């Protein structure tokens, strides 16, 4: 599907990922972008500069109200389904979180079937793998949830259901679908609900207050941090491709320890503060593995996507954005 001259809708459009997808769509000469959001976790100010573009239309709506989706999808060629509850909010409100992540995806696909939308690109997660013990985790790796906290396991299960709702609607009704399994997404407009990525912001904020950064346990916990701009590129490439009914891991393929992450933040900020190691009792955590390697070979092979932003550069961009936000508050 061509991006240029086409019309797209982004559920959860007023968000970090939704805003970045919008930026990339506008650069690709899209005809119109509908940002569909209920503003429960964000506000129009998140996309203030983007909303000034006449091609961007803000629509307040909820994916749990299918009639609102029907109305918003008029003339839409493709949907970027980014709306959903992450591990932390789902843990705090499982009733609503499961409804949004599961029934919400049924509603999105049902509305797309009704409106004859050609394709849905679904924001899934590497949580579909759980606490994988494989040397390299790829799309065929099984879901290992037995060692996870309940909220993390429920989140992973909801994403597995979302992916298969897409496949079911493709099989039965011809609504094409691709699922993108993101690793730990970070970047400009960083929200405070992502358990792994918010640690970057929390650490920077402590350093900015001249407080020692806190590293959980021994700091050997690892994550694959991927910048939101690389995520947005993957979304557009998935929409443009002829591929459908596939799931792709969208990750850098590089595991970074919390020790290394804090070292990078301290270097960028020029701080001499020494980290404090502490076991955080009762802290909600999505994963605590000390070994992790995600393969992005499938998405590279099938739609030619590869990550472009190194971690150091991406964190520097996030810190500049955070500093600018702080100046605006003053």
**Residue 99 CB coordination number (10 Å):** 15
H or E element that contains 80: strand 78-81
What percent of the chain is modeled with pLDDT above 70? 94
**Which band of pLDDT confidence, cut at 50, 70 and 90, is reported for residue 258?**
very high
- What is this structure's pTM? 0.93
Do residues 135 and 129 lie in contact, with contact meaning Cβ atoms separated by under 8 Å? no
Q: CA 210 to CA 65: how far, in whole Å?
A: 46
Q: CA 15 to CA 10: how far, in whole Å?
A: 10
Q: Is the per-residue pLDDT at 115 higher than 90?
A: yes
Handedness of CA 103, 92, 260, 134 (dihedral sign): negative
Q: Among 222, 255, 246, which residue's Cα sits nearest to residue 305?
A: 246
128: three-class secondary structure by DSSP: helix
Q: What is the predicted pLDDT for the residue at 60? A: 96
Q: What is the predicted pLDDT for the residue at 316? A: 96
Structural domains in the chain, sorted by start? 7-187+225-251+293-308 (3.40.50.720)
H or E element that contains 298: helix 297-303
Between helices 104-115 and 150-173, what is the axis angle to 10°? 20
Do residues 14 and 35 lie in contact, with contact meaning Cβ atoms separated by under 8 Å? yes
Q: Among 193, 202, 208, which residue's Cα sits nearest to residue 278?
A: 202
More confident residue, 55 or 149: 55
What does the pLDDT look like over 177-208, one tens digit per residue? 999 999 999 998 877 666 677 889 999 999 99
Do residues 154 and 90 lie in contact, with contact meaning Cβ atoms separated by under 8 Å? yes
Mean residue pLDDT of the chain comes to: 92
Gyration radius from the chain CA atoms: 19
More confident residue, 72 or 43: 72
Q: Is the per-residue pLDDT at 172 higher than 60?
A: yes
Q: Is the per-residue pLDDT at 311 higher than 80?
A: yes
What does the pLDDT look like over 57-75, one tens digit per residue? 999 999 999 999 999 999 9
**Which band of pLDDT confidence, cut at 50, 70 and 90, is reported for residue 149?**
confident
Cα dist from 199 to 32, 83, 215, 244, 268, whole Å:
35, 22, 9, 34, 16
Q: Is the per-residue pLDDT at 330 higher than 60?
A: no
């Amino acid at each position: 599907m061509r991006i240029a001259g086409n019309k797209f809708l982004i559920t959860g459009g007023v968000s970090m990922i939704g805003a970045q997808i919008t930026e990339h769509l506008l650069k690709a000469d899209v005809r119109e972008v509908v940002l569909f959001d209920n503003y429960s976790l964000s506000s129009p100010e998140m996309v203030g500069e983007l909303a000034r573009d006449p091609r961007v239309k803000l629509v307040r709506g909820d994916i749990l109200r299918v009639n609102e989706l029907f109305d918003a999808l008029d003339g839409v060629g493709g949907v970027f389904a980014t709306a959903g509850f992450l591990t932390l909010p789902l843990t705090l409100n499982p009733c609503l979180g499961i409804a949004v992540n599961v029934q919400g995806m049924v509603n999105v696909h049902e509305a797309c079937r009704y409106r004859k939308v050609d394709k849905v690109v679904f924001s899934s997660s590497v949580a579909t793998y759980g606490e994988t013990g494989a040397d390299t985790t790829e799309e065929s790796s099984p879901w290992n949830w037995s060692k996870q906290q309940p909220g993390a396991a429920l989140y992973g299960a909801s994403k597995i259901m979302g992916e298969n709702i897409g496949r079911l609607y493709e099989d039965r009704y011809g609504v094409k679908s691709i699922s993108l399994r993101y690793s730990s997404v970070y970047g400009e407009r960083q929200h405070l609900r992502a358990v792994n990525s918010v640690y970057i912001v929390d650490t920077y904020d402590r350093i900015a207050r001249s407080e020692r950064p806190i590293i959980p346990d021994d700091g050997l916990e690892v994550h694959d941090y991927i910048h939101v701009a690389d995520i947005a590129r993957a979304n557009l490439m998935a929409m443009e491709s002829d591929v459908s009914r596939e799931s792709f891991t969208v990750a850098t393929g590089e595991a970074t320890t919390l020790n290394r992450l804090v070292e990078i933040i301290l270097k960028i900020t020029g701080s001499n503060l020494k980290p404090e190691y502490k076991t955080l009792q009762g802290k909600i955590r999505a994963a605590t593995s000390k070994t992790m390697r995600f393969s992005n070979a499938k998405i590279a092979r099938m739609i030619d996507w590869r990550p472009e932003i190194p971690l150091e550069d991406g964190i520097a961009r996030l810190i500049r954005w955070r500093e600018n936000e702080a100046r605006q508050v003053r």
